[in-house]
Every structure is written in C-alpha cells, then in structure tokens.
Amino acid sequence: MAIDSNHSVMNGLNSVGFNLTPDNFPIKTENFLVMWELVKQDIGIGVLDGFIADKDPSVVQVLPDMPPLNFSIWLVTHRGLKTSRRIRVVFDFLAEELNKY
C-alpha cells in the first residue's frame, strides 16, 4: 500500500477502526501516478477517489462497505500569481468541479 509521508491515510483508516502502523506500508509514495500504477500492477492497495477507480475494470475495491474517507483539498499557488486572472479562472473551475464530489 502506498501512503503519504505524513501518514494522513493511515490516521484516517485508524480513525474508523483499523490498527495500522507505518510497518503496514512497506512501499511509500507521494506521487499519485506511481501509487495508481502500483495498484494496477497488483503490487499493493491504495486510497483514492471512487470515481477514478470505478472507471478501470481491472481495479476492485478492497473494502466496498467501508464509508468514504473525507479530507481537505487545498488549491494553492505562489503568492505572486494569486492576483492573476488566469490562475483565478482555473482555481474557480477546480473549486466548482471538486465540490461536486
């Protein structure tokens, strides 16, 4: 299983009844594409949005009855780009689309 460096996934799983430690995560990556490839190659399991996994028939849910984990997503940019109209348009679009899920 891939886990992020600050263990937020592990902490989220532990909050719903698991008893996991960093030893349960022998492979660690902060890169979504690497984690997704590990999952698709049957090397491990990963935590990701269902709407992504559901589109790939080669991937199956390990815990289909588990309630979804909720977490914050931050949209950030360099301070100097904060007032850019182009950045604002992209941020507004991303915020609207992410709020749908």
Note if the pTM is more than 0.75: no
Taking only the tens place, the pLDDT of each residue in 19-45 is: 989 888 888 888 889 989 998 898 888
At residue 2, does pLDDT exceed 50? no
Residues 6 or more apart in contact with residue 101 via CB below 8 angstroms: 49, 51
Contact predicate 51/101, CB 8 Å: yes
Q: Where are the domains of the chain?
A: 1-70, 71-101
CA distance 89 to 91: 6
CA distance 3 to 27: 7
